[in-house]
Amino acid sequence: MSNSAQSATTSDGVLPRFVGVLGGGRMGAGIAHAFLIKGADVLVVERDEQSAEAARERVESAAAKSIERGAVDGNLDEMVSRLAVSVDYDDFKDRQLVVEAVPEDWDLKVASLRGLEERLADDAYLASNTSSLSVNGLARELGRPQNFLGLHFFNPVPASTLIEVVLGEQTSDAVAAAARGWVEALGKTAVVVNDAPGFASSRLGVAIALEAMRMVEEGVASAEDIDNAMVLGYKHPTGPLRTTDIVGLDVRLGIAEYLASTLGDRFAPPQILRDKVARGELGRKTGKGFFDWNG
């Protein structure tokens, strides 16, 4: 469908009506839920049938919870009738906006984005939920970089009010303006960033977390006390080390390595982080990181 589709919008008049999400994992399901509860028709494409059904369950259960909590006004059956899952990229052909949320792997992202672009109308929007890869670099792999941008949702998507809108050098002004409108229509706040390693959030979040780890390493204070300094002193809702445990030490190590390679040694991962990852102390998901999560 060509974007005559651009005029097909949800009742708020801002969100595209036909939205796609590639990869219905933790983030993709959250992104699908965000558009679904605001009235869009959402298609999630997964790599196999089992993952597609799991994605459907995640989105449906999130929608049910939002209604139960009273966070969303609406009827679950009606909402669910606007959700489809598939394993076929061709099903994206009528989508006006597709958000890619496959795992953070360069080759996989490039292959996925190219596969999407091939199927989409010339004026459809394409976004990546990458948390660390270069939006400009990804754009260079595409035929229509003017339609491409980063939409960095935060985890868990329903509870987070922030979306980083990451503009590539070639992202058109019209696409940038449209993206600001989508974020507002989703009931969230946009932070607009010109593509740079770590965008705004990861760069600052990782910088403070790495310093906190060095302080533990040097015996300056305990993890608990370092976190309390930020929670009580600076009103951060969660300290940098507990946040690291929640995100995953392996994830943070990967981002720190990438930032060190692009922005320099100030992001070099401390040895304590490497050691903990090597021991499998990955944070909440393994029961131990900088804190003990068992029980």
CA–CA gap between residue 192 and residue 47 (Å, rounded): 31
In the bound complex, which residue of the shown chain has the CB atom lying closest to ligand NAD?
25
244 binds ligand NAD (CB under 6 A): no
DSSP-derived secondary structure for 94-133: G-SEEEE---S-HHHHHHHHHHHHHHS-TT-EEEE--SSS
243 binds ligand NAD (CB under 6 A): no
How big is the site for ligand NAD, counted in residues (CB under 6 A)? Answer: 22
2 binds ligand NAD (CB under 6 A): no
230-233 CB contacts, 8 Å cutoff, 24+ apart: none
Nearer to ligand NAD, 154 or 293 (CB): 154
Of 143-151, 153-161, 189-197, 213-221, the window that binds ligand NAD (rule: CB under 6 A) is: 153-161
Q: Contacts with ligand NAD in 88-117 (CB under 6 A)? A: 101-104, 112
Please check whether residue 188 is in contact with residue 200, taking contact to mean a CB–CB distance below 8 angstroms: no
Of 3-11, 147-155, 269-277, 279-287, the window that binds ligand NAD (rule: CB under 6 A) is: 147-155
Nearer to ligand NAD, 215 or 242 (CB): 242
Please check whether residue 213 is in contact with residue 263, taking contact to mean a CB–CB distance below 8 angstroms: no
Q: Distance of CA 269 to CAs 36, 201, 274, Å?
A: 39, 18, 7
Binding residues for ligand NAD, rule: CB under 6 A, are 22-28, 45-47, 51, 101-104, 112, 129-131, 153-155
